[in-house]
Every structure is written in structure tokens, then in C-alpha cells.
Chains A and B, each alone.
Chain A
């Protein structure tokens, strides 16, 4: 008989109470990033969220398609041989709506994570910071692209329904879609960076729209000034200021879209500057976003 009052089995034993290890497949970093991308994209349109969050994006989506529908109806009734508005001009016409849409989705993609302090939770998973920024950037750009492509598809379809020949319509359609893709990449960066700086949704919305409108407005005035001065070269470089005129410049010079009157870059140097500016802007905004998420406060 042992002198120890406590039985050996009761001393510092570790009991197996039946917890089980997870030994199923680990989906890993890549899967986490794609899930984040998909959920952010759905969240931008309010899918999988409350009715209230769906109202604004869907209302805006309808608003941007209405002019395309009206144009389609007019063409179908009057039976014109061409669209009254070139497809490459359409995005320019609904510029303000695109800005408002960006101002709505960027904070819903970026600011809520900051406001509810869940960013640090993301980073405690296999997800790297680059993945997080990349997923969010891709989600915002895709949401914007869908937003811009929808009315273009409506316009293209109505042109075909009105019996305007496919051959004369599809080049402009492809150009407009390509322009939408570039514009989506540039705008997404601007919107996300501003949204990432403020955890408050309302402030983010106002800040994004203000920056875009001021840039566009200042660009218009500056182009007018250069026109009064008769300096066509300066007009081209001044148009780099607004993301819309920047992308429009690329669309007219590289993609061969019809010019809508504002300054068009001409020659290798000017076109090169435009393309370089767009690439630098996208890369720079991405870099700044990475910088923003280098340190994230936990509380």
C-alpha cells in the first residue's frame, strides 16, 4: 500500500476527454483570398446583406441603365441606322453616377472591416496583407466593371434588336468595355484608398465623391483655360488630372474610340505619358493601400 494519499493517476494527469483534431483538408491562403474577394464583391451590391444595404447599389445600377434603355427604345421606334449616342461616349455621359456608385461601394468594402475592428482577425488567419488588399482591390474593380458593363450590354443589345448591323456595332462595344475595365481599375484604387483612411461610412462616401468631382471640375476649367490660351499641348497634359479624362484619353488614342471633344493625346510621347500615368496610378494606389495596412490597430 502506498504512503501517498493521492493516487498516482490523479497527479498531473492529462485526460483524453475526446476532443478531436481537425484532419480534414486545409483550404489555405488561396481559398481564403478568393472567398474574401467573392464576399466583398457580393457585399458591394448588398447581396447576402440586409434589404437596406441593397437599396443604394441596385438603385444606382437601375439609374445607369435607364438612359441606355431609353436610347434603345428611341432607336427601335424611329428605326435609325446608327445609335444616336456612340457606345464609347456612354460612360462619359453617366460619369456622375459612376462616381456616386464608387462612393457607395468603396466604404462598404473597406470601412466596415475597420470600423468593427475585424481587420486584425483576418490577419490572424493564413491570409497575408497582400492577399487582403488584392482581394479588396479586385472586388471593388469587378463591382465597378459590372456596373459600367451593364448599361453597355443593354445599349449593344438594343442596337442589335433595332436591326443595326452587328459589324458596325461590335467594335465600339468592345472599345467601351475595354475602357470600362481600365476605368474600373483606376477608380477602385482611388475609392478604396480614401475609404481605408476613414472608418466612418458617411464621411468616406462624401470624401470620395468630393475628390472625384473636384478633380473632374478642375480639369474642365483647366482645359478651358488652355483653350483660351490656344495651347493644345497643355490641354492634353492638364487632362491627366481627372481619372475620367485620363482613361478617356487612353480610350481615344490606344483603343481608337471616337473623341468626345476634350483633349486627345497624340503621338508616341503623349500616349506614352497617358499609359504610364494610368499604370503608375494603379500601382501607386495599390502600394499606398499596402502601406495603409502595414500596421492595423487591434482595438
Chain B
């Protein structure tokens, strides 16, 4: 980790007015949660819709995409990544520093609001808030690692990332059940299911993937993507086309 790289990344990701635009995402989630709580009371069936489909299914992939690609993509786009690459820093230090900022962003804007939403919606703090927050955290870390790699590998990182998170994980996953075995969302749900324990069914947490498979694949994705990102940063090609 390098504090200067962290500072620069933090500024490019959250600097100036951008942080207010990003705050809009958790704000929508919390506003809906408060609305459900005030109109329908605690433990509503809608809590599961909001936490599962909206928070874990839409919000976390989007945040992971924005934070993961945003941590390095703009710098590669305008070529200013050269100024960091030409400093005597290990490539792994650069990747890990950027990953750290991305994960911190997802944590602040995603995991904490998801936990707060669970607290607002549930009658007691424990099951729904904690299990969904754990799921969101794990999904967030995996998305960040994957999308950071994508941003280094291809110029179309955002589009490919969107196709994966929104088309592969949800639409294709519904039609072709096998596709769900390769879904970060399902892996993190498997862990959330374990955290929730016996109450998982009532909370609507249900994963199609075995816990052990999920953990192995998650670790493989997080470690593998970070390692590969480091490798690819060694031989980065910059193109002029915008």
C-alpha cells in the first residue's frame, strides 16, 4: 500500500462533487426503506425484495462497477497512469492501493447503508441486517477485484462489467440455472445464507451454490483477479483513441 496512490485514487473517485452524486445510490435505498417502514411497518415481505433484488442485485454490482473501474479506468483513459507507473513502486502496491480505495468506497456507500436498511426494516437488529450486510461486503470485495482487472484489460470495461452483472447474473441466471454457479451474487448469498442460519428461509436468502464451492470460487476470483491485474499492469498498452 502506498499513501500517495491511495490519496490520488480517493480524490479521483470521490473528489469534489462526485461523492455527492455517488451518495445518491444509498440515499435511494434508505429512502425506500424508510418509506416501507413507515407505511407498512416492520418485517414486511417487501423487506426481502428491497434487500435482495434491489440492494444485493442492483446496488452492489453498480457500486462495485463504479468503484472498481473508476479507481483506475479514467487514469488509463487519459494516460496519466504513466506518472504512477514510472515511479519506483511495485505494481502490486499500486493495484492493492487502488483496490483498497475501491473496497472502502463500496463499504461506506454500500455495506453500511445495507446494514442500516436491515436495521430500519427488521424488528430486531440481528438476522436480516447482519446476514445481508455480510453478503453485500463479500460481493462488494469480489466485484471490486473483478472490475478493477477488467478496467486494466479492456477499454470496454464498464460495458462488459454491466453485461456480466446485469445480464449474466440475473437474466441468463434465471433461464439457464447453470449460469448461477458462476455468479458473484450467488456466492455471496451462499455465505449470507450461512450467517443467517436457520432463519435464512424466512429472510428470503437462498443460494443455488454450495457454501464450500462459493468460498473457494470467491477466494479464487478475488486473489486471481488481483494477481492478474498486477501482471497486466506490467505490460500496459496505452492507446490514444477516446
Residue numbers of A with Cβ under 8 A of B are 50, 52-53, 55-56, 59-60, 63, 96-97, 100, 103-104, 112, 115-116, 200-203, 205-207, 209-210, 213-214, 217-218, 220-222, 224-225, 228-229
Contact = CB atoms under 8 A, between A and B. Distances in A.
A213 B213 CA distance: 30
B66 A210 contact: yes
A96 B69 contact: no
A96 B171 CA distance: 9
Contacts of B44: 228
Contacts of A213: 58, 62, 166
Given A63-B163, A221-B32, 13 more contacts: A96-B171, A104-B159, A200-B74, A202-B69, A202-B73, A206-B62, A207-B21, A210-B25, A213-B62, A214-B58, A218-B28, A221-B50, A221-B54
Contacts of B163: 59, 63, 100
A207 to B, nearest CB: 7
Contacts of B53: 217, 220
Nearest to A214: B28
Contact of B62 (A50, A202, A209, A220): A209
Interface of B: 21, 24-25, 28, 32, 35-36, 39-40, 44-46, 49-50, 53-54, 58, 62, 65-66, 69-70, 73-74, 77, 155-159, 162-163, 166-167, 170-171, 241-242
A228 B36 CA distance: 10
A76 B11 CA distance: 56
B69 A116 contact: no
A225 B46 contact: yes
A245 to B, nearest CB: 15
A258 to B, nearest CB: 22
A202 B72 CA distance: 11
A210 B66 CA distance: 9
Contacts of B54: 217-218, 220-221
B171 A206 contact: no
Contacts, number: 96
Nearest to A93: B171
Given A221-B46, A221-B50, A228-B46, A205 B158 contact: yes
B167 A97 contact: yes
A116 B58 CA distance: 33
B170 to A, nearest CB: 8
B162 A225 contact: no
B32 A206 contact: no
A218 B162 CA distance: 19
B160 to A, nearest CB: 8
A169 B33 CA distance: 43
Given A96-B166, A225-B36, A203 B74 contact: yes
Given A221-B32, A225-B35, A229-B39, A100 B62 contact: no
Contacts of B39: 225, 228-229
Contacts of A97: 167
Which 7 A-B residue pairings sit nearest by Cβ, starting from the closest?
A: A205-B158, A56-B159, A202-B73, A96-B166, A217-B54, A206-B66, A100-B162
Contact of B159 (A200, A205, A218, A220): A205
Contact of B162 (A52, A103, A224): A103
A83 to B, nearest CB: 17
A214 B40 CA distance: 21
A112 B242 contact: yes
